Structure 1
Amino acid sequence: MEAKNWHKLPVLFCLYIAQSIPMSFFSTVVPVIMRQENYSLQSIGLLQLVKLPWILKFLWAPIVDNHTRSLRDLRRWIVASELFYAIIILSIGFFNLQADFKLVILLMVVAFIASATQDIAVDIYAILMLKPSERSIGNSIQSAGTFVGSIFGTGVLLIAYHYFGWNYLLVLLAAFVLIALVPLLSYRQPLPSSTAIVKRISFTDIFRFFAIKGMYKWVLVLIFYYSGIIGILSMVKPYLVDLGYNIKQIGFLSGILGTSVAAISAFVAGFIVKKIGRKTSLYAFLAASFGAGAFFWLISHGTPSMSLLYAAVMLLWCSYGLSTVIIYTIAMDKVRPGCEGTDFTLQIVITHLSGLIFAVISGRLADSFGYHNFFGIEALFSLIAMIILSITLRQSNNANQ
């Protein structure tokens, strides 16, 4: 990346971290607070509804695409959604969790709609601002920002809650969202000269994405690429509980150490992709996922030591950070001109939905076959993903010859 263009990276980092911190707080920290306040598990379960906008955001991505005809329009979308996001977060702080529970949940859903809309606009901004040669580095910044936001949202804010309480914490959260806009407002570089914004798509254009030649094969890669690690990520905390580790130890091992490793690996991944290329990176990062599943399988023969668990968790989160960057980078390459927000969002939603399915399946597999066999099955999923990737790339090469 040219030295004169590096300023766009802090802008992207701040925008992605701004949406990640409140999202992590609402989806992971609030349930802890609620349980401490003796809320029922049913009430805590309802909190998962706040994630729905991030699954359904592809439905209104065409609206954002159609109303983005210039860089100024993009900035307006981002600023407006971010301001609305901050206002909703601030308003939540004026209500009591216990007395106004349903209203708070509703406001959280509205906040996540604003956050999802901002994410669509930021993704368009990133796709248009980053040249193809810059996308790996740009996505490493994006993913690293998301993981760093998760660390703050799940760890730092939980500590801050004990010192400041619910109301002041939400004020702090809203203020941070607004501060994250400063780099965007100060960055006024034009789009690359080769980039043109031409928008006019319909709702049905969402599904025409799948009609592109060979696209269904890429969709298969999206569905299975994370399959070998997503189940382990969902089961590693119960596994640690069953091994006798306490909440503090699990929180540090999985929440702080694991997410920190993911942030570092995501940052490094962009440079790796730029060095060895997208195709080789797809194989290499998938091999890392297989290694994580195989390592968990090996150490689960008996009771693993703390050092082995540290190594396993670090490898798991490292492979997740690497995988995120390469998938996001190629997803940017696959978008149609004029459908940047719609196509990129659709691809990422596919990974989220498939991840949700594999996470649900993993619970049944671990319960039925035990942790040791489950980890072996997860490693097998990575091999299946490798086969699908190999067939897809081979057929793609043959078609281009």
Structure 2
Amino acid sequence: MSTPKRWGLQLLFGWMNLVLAVPSIYLMFGLPLVLRQHGWEGTEIGLLQLAALPAIFKFLFAMPVQRVRFGRGHFVHWLWLMSALLLAMYVAIGWQNLIAHKLPLFALTFLISIATTWLDIPVNALAVQWLPRSEQLRAGSIRSAALFIGAIVGGGVMVLVLSRWGWQAPFVIMGAALLGGCLPFAALRAQASLPVQDSATDNTPPAILADWASFFAQPGATQWTWMLLTSFPFIGAVWLFLKPLMLDQGMPLEQVAWTIGIAGGVTGALFSLIGGRLISVLGTARAIVLYLLAALAALVLLTVVVWAKLGAVWLTISALIVAASMGAISALMFGLTMFFTRRQRNASDYGLQSTIFTVARLVVPVAAGVMLDYLGQVGMLTGMSIGVLCALGLALRARHSVGATAQKVMARED
């Protein structure tokens, strides 16, 4: 595959991941700011976050994508099918202003969450199928950067679009972006060089369980699963609570918005790309340890800054260091997820790993919130630092087996 073609595919998959990140972030994190201004109660806004639940069941959504065939290039057909459903949801939710219609807004937000979760599976299954293994770490870093940019667009830009051009404008923009991303797949689908897919179509529970069991039978898969559960959620939970934490430390709201919402997002995106590039230089095993060490150092620094009340400048510096380490770790996680996704089981393996990652990412912030309420800011940050320390201990044990699997996968397909 030529270099321009590889970069074209990388940018296409990066765009699709950005397009899928923006609606979820806008509906669950950006729009609630507007809903609050229109009299929504905290409980109602909190219930809206339950629309994220479909992500937990991605492993179930992956099974029909893997096994139900729509002819040659069936992943592209799945991508178009789910994109059409998502576009229909954009039309439905944007048809009229739903701020005063709570039940329809929640229902459509939930359906959009299902559509984006389901669409994510064929998008990333195609990335595993079409990109050489040597390009998949870069794909992971681009995907991580896309998520950070999506947080800026969905949590900030789309709110400004809403306030200036009205309710429909964000959904028109998101629909146009999705449609633009889908069109190139018409040309890519016709390529004759696609790998031959596994022909199994048995959808019985034993066959599905056998798929999952065979995933864990891969060399290093058990160790990788523990890493997937522990490496990101603790620093991710701290990032989630950074805005209220900085407000409680006396930083003005506008400064917090710029620090976390804009500067933090840009820093995370930048270090996602840098971190993905450094993995190939450092080697996977060494990168695993160094990135978790950086995350631990970032959380320890933030804990000291909060404990010693060192002020806004040090808070800003430590927050940006947290963003940088989080970007590098997420690039590593997404890249290794592709390595442990077998080409013959690309949808089901990807869906299973995404579910494992999501469950941990949802559970740890709940624990962090409880710690914040009962132990205070320093107690919560200390607890999350201990969590990263435990993840580092697991990584020290798993790094060689996980790194060896990554090397073997690349060597086998070079």
C-alpha displacement of 1:39: 0.9
Give the distance between the partners of 1:205 and 1:129, measured in 2 at CA: 25
Query: Would you say 1:355 and 2:361 are equivalent positions?
Result: yes
Secondary structure of the structure 2 residue equivalent to 1:95: coil
2:143 aligns to what? 142
Corresponding residue to 1:383 among 365, 385, 389: 389
Corresponding residue to 2:265 among 231, 237, 259: 259
Query: Would you say 1:367 and 2:368 are equivalent positions?
Result: no
Give the distance between the partners of 1:396 and 1:171, measured in 2 at CA: 43
Q: Is the 8 A contact 1:71 1:190 kept in 2?
A: no
C-alpha displacement of 1:359: 0.8
C-alpha displacement of 1:324: 1.0
Secondary structure of the structure 1 residue equivalent to 2:167: helix
Q: Is the 8 A contact 2:161 2:169 kept in 1?
A: no
Corresponding residue to 1:207 among 212, 217, 226: 212
Give the distance between the partners of 1:65 and 1:36, measured in 2 at CA: 44
2:44 aligns to what? 43
Q: Is the 8 A contact 1:21 1:150 kept in 2?
A: yes
Q: Is the 8 A contact 2:125 2:346 kept in 1?
A: yes
Q: Could you tell which deviates more after superposition, 123-132 or 338-347?
A: 338-347
Q: Is the 8 A contact 2:268 2:324 kept in 1?
A: yes
Structure 1 pair 147/232, CA: closer, same or farther in 2 (3 Å)? same
Equivalence map 1:284-323=2 (5 Å): 284-323=290-329
Structure 1 pair 173/369, CA: closer, same or farther in 2 (3 Å)? same
- What letter corresponds to residue 173 of structure 1 in structure 2? M
Give the distance between the partners of 1:166 and 1:371, measured in 2 at CA: 37
Give the distance between the partners of 2:280 and 2:37, measured in 1 at CA: 46
2:3 aligns to what? 3
- What letter corresponds to residue 47 of structure 2 in structure 1? L
Give the distance between the partners of 2:346 and 2:362, measured in 1 at CA: 24
Q: Is the 8 A contact 1:10 1:183 kept in 2?
A: no
Query: Would you say 1:340 and 2:349 are equivalent positions?
Result: no
Give the distance between the partners of 1:237 and 1:54, measured in 2 at CA: 24
Give the distance between the partners of 2:174 and 2:402, measured in 1 at CA: 46
- What letter corresponds to residue 196 of structure 1 in structure 2? V
Structure 1 pair 337/135, CA: closer, same or farther in 2 (3 Å)? closer
1:196 aligns to what? 196
Give the distance between the partners of 2:112 and 2:119, measured in 1 at CA: 11
Structure 1 pair 396/169, CA: closer, same or farther in 2 (3 Å)? closer
Q: Is the 8 A contact 1:69 1:197 kept in 2?
A: no
Q: Is the 8 A contact 2:63 2:347 kept in 1?
A: yes
Give the distance between the partners of 2:17 and 2:400, measured in 1 at CA: 34
Equivalence map 1:205-284=2 (5 Å): 205=210, 207-208=212-213, 209-212=215-218, 214-284=220-290
Q: TM-score under structure 2 normalisation? A: 0.89
2:89 aligns to what? 88
Q: Is the 8 A contact 1:58 1:346 kept in 2?
A: yes
Give deviations 1:170-202, integer Å, cap 9, x for gaps.
223322222232343454584767x43114264
Secondary structure of the structure 2 residue equivalent to 1:38: coil
C-alpha displacement of 1:355: 1.8
- Which residues of structure 2 form unaligned runs of 5+? 408-414
- Which residues of structure 1 form unaligned runs of 5+? none
Q: Is the 8 A contact 2:66 2:348 kept in 1?
A: yes
Q: TM-score under structure 1 normalisation? A: 0.92
- What letter corresponds to residue 96 of structure 1 in structure 2? N
CA RMSD of aligned residues (A): 2.4
Secondary structure of the structure 2 residue equivalent to 1:9: helix
Structure 1 pair 306/398, CA: closer, same or farther in 2 (3 Å)? closer
Structure 1 pair 379/192, CA: closer, same or farther in 2 (3 Å)? farther
Q: How many residues align?
A: 399
Secondary structure of the structure 1 residue equivalent to 2:79: helix
Give the distance between the partners of 1:71 and 1:267, measured in 2 at CA: 33
1:76 aligns to what? 77
- What letter corresponds to residue 160 of structure 2 in structure 1? I
